[in-house]
């Protein structure tokens, strides 16, 4: 948590920096990640009522106000604010920011945050095709192919539905989840789940677990056992491979065989959260045992040397690996903290 707060304090605004690079230093605030860090900050703060944790709420409000200041007039949010990056609305980024706006609304009861979330949700619905798919505003330059991991956007819309009780958000999410499930293979693996289409045969697990988590959370929110079972089937693919190889690698093919020999710590943290959610459902010990091995690994690589990395999680292991090389990531650290808090709650 200390490192996440540092990633906010180092910038010129109140967003959270995307990452720290060992050579280039701190990068600018990242709207998408700022959005989904906010529920983590608030959940951590609610564990205690001392002054330090009350200060975390104030920092969350500041970050939310920054998000309001950059929301586009039609409700969407752009991607990264780096250099001369064009101001292009992005589906996924907008969905992730809804999580933060709802979390701050629930904490403060200030309607401004909910109104902004509603505006963002309405924009998502307006730009969704009838079959539940988002086919435009997909990347930072506005191009690209649609992604299965938009199931995580559907989860955000369901959180908005739960808060507002407006059925259109539920309908939108439901259509997208149904479409996504048509791309699940018999092994539990999902096609079209990587950011870059050329890697769809061996997706980075960061995006593949986005897909699984979105379906699982949607199933839990709507009480849909078929969706929960679909997510569990995918998670078991990870689990069986982890049991076989004694680790989780960064990319897998549709048979759950590792396609690379390096690790994506972000994905390890993310799948650990899924494991824990499934353990809470069925109390099968293998989910908990695998989680504990993953957390022990993540603790072993947590940054220790230097004030700019202490407490953070790196993009690749080894650190000069292909995904965000030589960097410590705010989103990896956020998911690590989520997993730690969820695991601690089981004691």
For residue range 269-296, list pLDDT tens digits in order.
999 999 999 999 999 999 999 999 999 9
Q: Which runs of consecutive H residues, i.e. helices, occur in the chain? A: 2-9, 31-45, 51-70, 91-108, 111-126, 151-164, 167-181, 205-222, 225-245, 265-282, 285-301, 330-344
Same domain, 90 and 147: yes
Same domain, 5 and 114: yes
State the pLDDT at residue 144.
Answer: 56
Q: Any residues with CB less than 8 A from the CB of 142 and at least 6 apart, and which?
A: 86, 88, 136
Same domain, 11 and 136: yes
Q: How far is residue 238's CA from residue 126's CA, in Å, rounded to a whole number?
A: 35
Structure tokens at 81: 């604010």
State the pLDDT at residue 47.
Answer: 86
Q: How far is residue 21's CA from residue 23's CA, in Å, rounded to a whole number?
A: 5
Q: Which of 158, 182, 206 is the last residue of a domain?
A: 182
Same domain, 176 and 192: no
Same domain, 65 and 143: yes
Same domain, 169 and 191: no
Q: How far is residue 7's CA from residue 14's CA, in Å, rounded to a whole number?
A: 10
- Is residue 156 within 8 A of residue 103, CB to CB? The reply is no
Same domain, 209 and 324: yes
Q: How far is residue 347's CA from residue 343's CA, in Å, rounded to a whole number?
A: 7
Percent of the chain exceeding pLDDT 90 equals: 88
**Over the stretch 139-165, which tens digit does the pLDDT of each residue have?**
765 555 688 999 999 999 999 999 999
Low-confidence ranges of the chain (pLDDT < 70): 49-52, 81-86, 140-145
Same domain, 110 and 198: no
Same domain, 53 and 74: yes
The pTM is what? Answer: 0.96
Q: Which domain holds residue 104?
A: 1-182
Q: Which of 135, 161, 182 is the last residue of a domain?
A: 182
Q: Which CATH number do you get for residue 135?
A: 1.50.10.20
Same domain, 173 and 258: no
Q: Which of 138, 162, 182 is the last residue of a domain?
A: 182
Q: How many domains does the chain have?
A: 2
Same domain, 256 and 269: yes
State the pLDDT at residue 338.
Answer: 98
Same domain, 146 and 187: no
State the pLDDT at residue 139.
Answer: 74
Residue 20 φ/ψ, nearest 5 degrees? -110, 125
State the pLDDT at residue 48.
Answer: 75
Q: Which CATH number do you get for residue 240?
A: 1.50.10.10
Q: How far is residue 231's CA from residue 197's CA, in Å, rounded to a whole number?
A: 22
């Amino acid at each position: 948590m200390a490192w996440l707060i540092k990633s906010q304090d180092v910038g010129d605004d109140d967003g959270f920096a995307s990452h720290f690079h060992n050579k280039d230093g701190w990068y600018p605030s990242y709207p998408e990640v700022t959005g989904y860090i906010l529920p983590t900050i608030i959940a951590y703060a609610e564990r205690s009522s001392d002054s330090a944790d009350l200060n975390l709420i104030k920092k969350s409000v500041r970050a939310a106000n920054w998000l309001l200041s950059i929301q586009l007039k039609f409700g969407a949010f752009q991607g990264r604010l780096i250099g001369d990056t064009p101001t292009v609305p992005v589906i996924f980024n907008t969905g992730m920011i809804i999580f933060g706006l709802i979390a701050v609304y629930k904490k403060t009861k200030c309607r401004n945050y909910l109104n902004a979330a509603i505006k963002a949700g309405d924009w998502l619905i307006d730009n969704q095709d009838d079959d539940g798919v988002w086919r435009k505003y997909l990347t930072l330059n506005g191009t690209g192919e649609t992604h299965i991991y938009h199931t995580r956007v559907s989860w955000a819309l369901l959180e908005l539905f739960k808060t507002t009780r407006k059925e259109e958000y539920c309908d939108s999410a439901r259509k997208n989840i149904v479409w996504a499930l048509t791309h699940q293979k018999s092994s539990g693996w999902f096609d079209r789940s990587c950011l870059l289409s050329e890697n769809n045969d061996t997706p980075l697990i960061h995006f593949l677990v986005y897909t699984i988590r979105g379906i699982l959370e949607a199933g839990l929110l709507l009480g849909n056992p078929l969706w929960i079972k679909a997510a569990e089937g995918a998670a078991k693919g990870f689990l069986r491979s982890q049991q076989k190889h004694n680790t989780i690698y960064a990319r897998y093919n549709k048979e759950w065989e590792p396609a690379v020999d390096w690790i994506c710590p972000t994905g390890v943290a993310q799948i650990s959260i899924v494991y824990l959610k499934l353990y809470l459902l069925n109390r099968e010990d293998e989910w908990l045992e695998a989680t504990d091995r993953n957390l022990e690994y993540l603790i072993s690589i947590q940054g220790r040397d230097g004030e700019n990395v202490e407490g953070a999680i790196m993009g690749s292991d080894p650190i000069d690996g292909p995904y965000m090389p030589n960097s410590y990531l705010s989103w990896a650290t956020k998911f690590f903290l989520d997993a730690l808090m969820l695991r601690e709650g089981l004691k």
